A and B are shown apart, each in its own frame.
Chain A
Amino acid sequence: MLRRLFKDFQGDVLAIPGRLIALIFFLLLFIVPLITKEPYILRTFIFANVFVIFAVSWDFVSGYTGQVNFGHALFFGVAAYSAALLNKYLGLQPWATIPIGALVAVGAGVLMCLPALRLRGPYLSLVTLAFPLILLGVIKAFPDFTGGEHGISGLPALAASRTVEYYISVSVMIVSVFIMWKLTDAKSALVRTGIILHAIREDEIAARATGINTIRYKMLAFVVGGFFAGIAGGLYAHFMRIAGPSSMDMMLSFQAIIWTVFGGIVSIYGAVVGVYFLYPLMELLRVVPELRLLIFAAIVIVILLFMPEGIAVWIRDKIERECPRCKLSNIALRHTCRACGASLY
């Protein structure tokens, strides 16, 4: 039994350089607090973890079904505000407010679906843009209940110490990313959603013709994406100890797009790479505060001009090669496939 598990592990993880790198990276994340206890660095990593969940959930909704969502901050903000309101009026603690907030975000996702699923392509993108802005208008119009411009402050912290907060964020991030990656894995034998979502993105009419209820799967994408974006929103609210209008800002929705597309859309790990590349970069650029955003945007433009598919996809294509016969991924150093022996050239 153990030997078989190890064999699977060897074949599915160790033999594929991309996955090996991912494994090492996630293991490294766990030892960060052992190396440094600097609160600022831990804070940066916690934010990066929260935004990884957010960006990956955007990729899940938008990349995999081709419904480019311009209003993803809606889920983030709705969850942050629900967590804050639940805490303020009912006195609930983070372990309860974050899941409930995420469920409220799922509700928002379903509401957003109702008009959105009738629309396609750019229409859908532009309508999704409207929802967070409408809600933001409502929030600012009723400052007594929602705190208006200043938001709701004084939330309890995620945990007593920074290190514990860090471990919470890392574990939630890894579990969420793993679930979403598994749900979108087209080669998985266990769940069919991955291959169905890929089919919808490639050709929705053909997917319908083969008997797939595409509406149901698009809705599923909104629900799952909304749930995880909601988790990110709740974590963010409790870590920042404030839920304000900035958590539903248009710029935050655009950030999700920037991170994901920069890393590589339709790949899950692209979003992870994008956040872990761009978020610390943004923090590093604090040394030149006036030029910060300018340099950031310039780097994004220049890198995308040379790697239009995203940086993670570009790297993957350099280190991995797919077998033309059995579609198995191989390390780029090999000349023949490790399973079927077909030539890789």
Chain B
Amino acid sequence: MIQAFIIQTLVTGGVYALLAVGFALIFGVARMINLAHTSFLMLAAYGMFYMTYRLGLDVIYAVIIALVATTLIGIVSYKLFIDRIREHQVTVLLITIALAIVFQECMVLAFGAHFWSAPTLIEGYWEVLGVKVSYQHLLTLAVVLVVLLGIWALLSRTKLGIAIRATAQDTEIANLMGISVPRILLITMGIAVALAAVAGIVVAPLWTVYPYMWLNPLVMVMAIVVLGGLGSVKGSLIGAFIIGLVETSVVFFLPGGAFLSSAFALLVMVIILVVRPEGLYGIVFEEERL
């Protein structure tokens, strides 16, 4: 019981962390709330489902194709629809909602509004202390760990990472230092979408795949990102595990918890924000200070 609880918390928190870090990155750099963020998770999950279950492709190829295709869709839709009207913030918000609806409806058209499940990436389980832990869960944890370490290394150790962080801190100054801001925005969008796609690939066998699967994670990701402090990658990591813990414990320990899990997670977010209005690791921007 307790081991299953810990594994579940880690997996939920890890998947949320992948999503939240991408969401925080694109918010920090472009100041854009991307409501289509989790719909990329849905696209990748559908891609995995289609290629492994319907076409019977090898898992490795399926993973690569799903990742690359989703990232390309993300970059192209950014370039086509969002880049041109970036100064109208509320309009950008609306376009991202519309994009999410477009993706959702495309999936309804292609696969119908049914519940699907993708086959697991690797079979089998591992017995630890008398509990069966499936390899799928372990694989998810490993992928989350590797990808998050990779993102951390990219942001803190490479020139590109420094450019991204500089743009997030002050777009104009970054531009004056010779950083091509439009290119950084595009790259950041690509990284964020790729993170969402990785999350989609690992959760395809764990969650049910259906056209509306982006809504609930979207709410959770926004709660996490706000809780951790908008635009702060470290904050969203910690926030992801807090929300994952709350959600899992409500489901495990409360009767009828499945209905209340998001309500409790959001309540925790509201309480933290009342105590600390800028989130756990929020940066108070000069022009946004009251």
Q: Which residues of A contact B (CB under 8 A)?
A: 68, 114-115, 118-123, 125-127, 129-131, 133-138, 140-141, 204-205, 250, 254, 257-258, 261-262, 265, 290-291, 293-294, 296-298, 300-301, 304-305, 308-310
Chain B residues positioned under 8 Å from A310 (CB to CB): 91
B219 at the interface (CB under 8 A from A): yes
CA distance A254 to B35 in the complex (A): 10
Which residue of B88, B264, B288 contacts A121 across the interface (Cβ within 8 Å)? B288
B99 at the interface (CB under 8 A from A): yes
Interface residues of B in 243-290 (CB under 8 A from A): 256, 259-264, 266-267, 269-270, 273-274, 277-279, 282, 288, 290
Chain A residues positioned under 8 Å from B177 (CB to CB): none
CA distance A258 to B233 in the complex (A): 30
Which residue of B94, B105, B223, B260 contacts A141 across the interface (Cβ within 8 Å)? B260
CA distance A197 to B273 in the complex (A): 25
Which residue of A123, A131, A140, A262 contacts B273 across the interface (Cβ within 8 Å)? A123
- Indicate if the CB atoms of B259 and A258 lie closer than 8 Å: no
CA distance A327 to B35 in the complex (A): 38
> Range of interface residues on chain B?
35 or more
- Indicate if the CB atoms of B290 and A305 lie closer than 8 Å: no
Sampled A-B contacts (28; CB under 8 Å): A114-B274, A118-B274, A118-B277, A120-B290, A122-B33, A122-B230, A123-B279, A127-B269, A127-B270, A129-B219, A133-B262, A134-B270, A136-B263, A137-B261, A137-B262, A141-B256, A141-B260, A257-B97, A258-B98, A291-B105, A297-B99, A297-B102, A297-B105, A300-B94, A301-B102, A304-B95, A305-B81, A309-B91
SS of B interface (majority)? helix
Chain A residues positioned under 8 Å from B225 (CB to CB): 126
- Indicate if the CB atoms of B277 and A119 lie closer than 8 Å: yes
CA distance A331 to B97 in the complex (A): 35
- Indicate if the CB atoms of B102 and A130 lie closer than 8 Å: no
- Across chains A and B, the number of contacting residue pairs, with CB separation under 8 Å, is 129
Q: Which of A120, A130, A301, A308 has the most CB of B within 10 A?
A: A130
- Indicate if the CB atoms of A293 and B101 lie closer than 8 Å: yes
Chain B residues positioned under 8 Å from A261 (CB to CB): 90-91, 93-94
- Indicate if the CB atoms of B222 and A254 lie closer than 8 Å: no
Chain A residues positioned under 8 Å from B84 (CB to CB): 305
CA distance A132 to B168 in the complex (A): 31
Chain A residues positioned under 8 Å from B230 (CB to CB): 122-123
- Indicate if the CB atoms of A301 and B81 lie closer than 8 Å: yes
Q: Which residue of A lies closest to B231 (CB)?
A: A122
Nearest CB in chain A: distance from B104 CB, A: 8
B106 at the interface (CB under 8 A from A): yes
B57 at the interface (CB under 8 A from A): no
B109 at the interface (CB under 8 A from A): yes
Chain B residues positioned under 8 Å from A305 (CB to CB): 81, 84-85, 95
SS of A interface (majority)? helix
Q: Which residue of B lies closest to A310 (CB)?
A: B91
- Indicate if the CB atoms of A298 and B102 lie closer than 8 Å: yes
Q: Which of B98, B106, B223 has the most CB of A within 10 A?
A: B98
B226 at the interface (CB under 8 A from A): yes
B27 at the interface (CB under 8 A from A): yes
Once A141-B260, A250-B215, A308-B91 are accepted as A-B contacts, the answer to whether A126 and B288 lie under 8 Å apart by CB is no
Chain B residues positioned under 8 Å from A138 (CB to CB): 260, 263
Q: Given A137-B263, A293-B105, 5 more contacts at CB 8 Å?
A: A120-B288, A123-B230, A123-B278, A137-B262, A141-B260
Which residue of A114, A126, A204, A294 contacts B106 across the interface (Cβ within 8 Å)? A294
CA distance A291 to B108 in the complex (A): 10
Chain A residues positioned under 8 Å from B93 (CB to CB): 68, 257, 261
Chain A residues positioned under 8 Å from B97 (CB to CB): 254, 257-258
Q: 4 shortest A-B CB distances, which residue pairs?
A: A137-B263, A130-B266, A294-B105, A297-B101
Q: Which of B95, B219, B259 has the most CB of A within 10 A?
A: B259
CA distance A258 to B35 in the complex (A): 13
Once A122-B33, A123-B278, A250-B215 are accepted as A-B contacts, the answer to whether A290 and B109 lie under 8 Å apart by CB is yes
Once A141-B256, A254-B97, A294-B109 are accepted as A-B contacts, the answer to whether A125 and B263 lie under 8 Å apart by CB is no
Nearest CB in chain A: distance from B231 CB, A: 9
- Indicate if the CB atoms of B27 and A122 lie closer than 8 Å: yes
- Indicate if the CB atoms of B101 and A133 lie closer than 8 Å: no
Nearest CB in chain B: distance from A326 CB, A: 29
Once A141-B259, A298-B102 are accepted as A-B contacts, the answer to whether A133 and B277 lie under 8 Å apart by CB is no
Nearest CB in chain B: distance from A202 CB, A: 13
Chain B residues positioned under 8 Å from A294 (CB to CB): 101-102, 105-106, 109
- Indicate if the CB atoms of A137 and B226 lie closer than 8 Å: no
Q: Which residue of A lies closest to B287 (CB)?
A: A205
CA distance A114 to B278 in the complex (A): 15
Chain A residues positioned under 8 Å from B288 (CB to CB): 120-121
CA distance A304 to B90 in the complex (A): 11
Which residue of B90, B106, B261, B270 contacts A130 across the interface (Cβ within 8 Å)? B270
Chain B residues positioned under 8 Å from A122 (CB to CB): 27, 33, 226, 230
Nearest CB in chain B: distance from A73 CB, A: 13
Chain B residues positioned under 8 Å from A254 (CB to CB): 35, 97
CA distance A291 to B110 in the complex (A): 11
Which residue of B98, B222, B223, B264 contacts A301 across the interface (Cβ within 8 Å)? B98
CA distance A204 to B230 in the complex (A): 21
Q: Which residue of A lies closest to B254 (CB)?
A: A141
- Indicate if the CB atoms of B27 and A301 lie closer than 8 Å: no
CA distance A257 to B277 in the complex (A): 25
